[in-house]
A and B are shown apart, each in its own frame.
Chain A
Amino acid sequence: MSAERPYTLVAELTYTCPLRCVYCSNPVRAAVGAELDTESWRRVLREAAALGVVSVNLSGGEPLLRDDLEQLVAEARAAELYTTLITSGVPLTRERLAALRAYGLDALQLSFQDERAGEARRVAGAEVLEQKLRAAEWARALELPLTVNVVLHRGNLERVPAIVALAERLGAERLELANTTWLGWALENRAALLPTRAAIDAARVQARAAAERLRGRLEVLFVLPDYHTDYPRPCMGGWGRTIVVVAPDGLALPCQQARTIRGLEFENVRARPLGEIWRDSPGFRAFRGEAWMQEPCRSCKRRAHDFGGCRCQAFHLLGDPAATDPACRLSPRHAVVAAARERAESAAADAALVYRRAPTPE
């Protein structure tokens, strides 16, 4: 299977973050090397553009903690990349946002935990809401397109109408209501955060009504939760197919969690150009195409749509990254997910939370 070209680069500039969100998608356990320096990131941006990438998401951790962010935005603009800053907004100032805009930043994605300050604090492990509201206001004043991203879980699913109202009030162009994916820190906190089916169904109806009402003004996206949808999500649009992630230490990956799969060999952009890694490295080739698939995926007509689901989920729940994603009801081991789903129906309301820390070596 030949490599298609990636359209999007997710540049994880740092794993450091002032927040400690309980569903953070950064790896929980990983041996992470030193952060790439400015020149290396600039080269990665140029190599990505040459490979066919047209959009770059500057992400983290908290990318604002890199004091070379302005230089990286300028480099991305020079390479004609559409540049989105994905941030908590917490270390932001009005002046810095204006500077980033002037250097060529195209759009801002701001995360919100909740529209209630106390709940936002409980999930982020820090006082964040007021500063986020200010950041959104600055984006509007600068006419910077704003996406509001909210990770949904049992603590905030019932707040969907209030969250939609918040996004409207902030003048957002797009609202991502992203149900938690149960990897990384979210998997550590799954018992406390996994919602009931009734809560998901109610939120889905509310989100659909909001999308209808706001069509053409505010795009409302409800990302379905794979534990409750019978079939797996087409994770990353397929392994090594349209998205390339570069981690803070330069490891080039098919997704933010891939480095946590034991036994895969990933390569570093310090040692080899990004294009070569994308095309040839064992880690990228491992689950590209369909040759790696087992039954029931191998003969399933949905395989071209969902690519067998999430490899990280298969590894972390089953120990086998080549297994059918257990979120799929056709998986012989779907009971693993079904049991977690069942437990959520009767879980205690306020279980203890484990707060995110920087990744620690295994």
Chain B
Amino acid sequence: MIALAARPVLAPKARLRRDPVTGGKLLVYPERGLALNDTGAEILDLCDGERCVREIIEVLAARHGASDALAADVRGFLQELADRNLLRGLEP
């Protein structure tokens, strides 16, 4: 699981863009794309390479209320992107 001290940022090969058809957010990268739900888009907006994962969780908890599920969801989502080699800044 992704470290709480990691400071993730999107890899240069990936691009976050608006989907003109749905109005939602799309993460596009070589030969693939990923439609993001609102939570996913919100998490990625916070991944600036400065904030660590712990701080990202804190920001989201302040907005939506803290819970164990929130922390697990954020780390799960980021790990999924990391597995696809879409994040940098993973070494704390």
Interface residues of A (CB under 8 A from B): 5, 7, 49-50, 52, 54-55, 57, 80, 82, 84, 106-107, 109, 143, 145, 147, 173-174, 215-219
Contact = CB atoms under 8 A, between A and B. Distances in A.
Contacts of B39: none
Interface string B47-90: 00000000000000000000000000000000000111100001
A145 B30 contact: yes
Contact of B85 (A5, A55, A173): A173
Q: Which of B15, B31, B32, B33 counts the most A-chain CB atoms under 10 A from its CB?
A: B31
A50 B20 CA distance: 8
A55 B12 contact: no
Interface string B8-25: 000011010101110000
A312 to B, nearest CB: 21
B85 A82 contact: no
Interface string B23-43: 000101111110000000000
Contacts of B13: 106-107, 145, 173
In the A-B complex, the 5 residue pairs with the smallest Cβ-Cβ separation, listed nearest first, are: A145-B13, A107-B30, A52-B21, A82-B28, A5-B21
B12 A82 contact: no
13 contacts: A5-B21, A49-B20, A57-B31, A80-B17, A84-B31, A106-B30, A107-B29, A109-B30, A145-B29, A145-B30, A173-B30, A216-B82, A218-B85
A50 B8 CA distance: 32
Contacts of B26: 54
B90 to A, nearest CB: 8
Given A57-B31, A147-B30, A219 B84 contact: yes
B83 A55 contact: no
Nearest to B28: A82
Nearest to A145: B13
Interface residues of B, number: 19
A360 to B, nearest CB: 30
A219 to B, nearest CB: 6
Contact of A54 (B33, B84, B85): B33
Nearest to A144: B13
A6 to B, nearest CB: 10
B28 A55 contact: yes
A215 B84 CA distance: 8
Given A52-B20, A84-B30, A107-B29, 18 more contacts: A5-B21, A7-B33, A49-B20, A54-B28, A55-B31, A57-B31, A82-B15, A82-B30, A84-B31, A106-B30, A109-B31, A145-B12, A147-B31, A173-B13, A173-B30, A173-B85, A174-B85, A219-B85
A97 B70 CA distance: 44
B31 A216 contact: no
B17 A54 contact: yes
A57 B32 CA distance: 11
A79 to B, nearest CB: 10
Contacts of A106: 13, 15, 30
A109 B13 CA distance: 13
A55 B33 contact: yes
A83 to B, nearest CB: 10
Contact of B29 (A82, A143, A216): A82
A217 B85 contact: yes
Contacts of B17: 54, 80
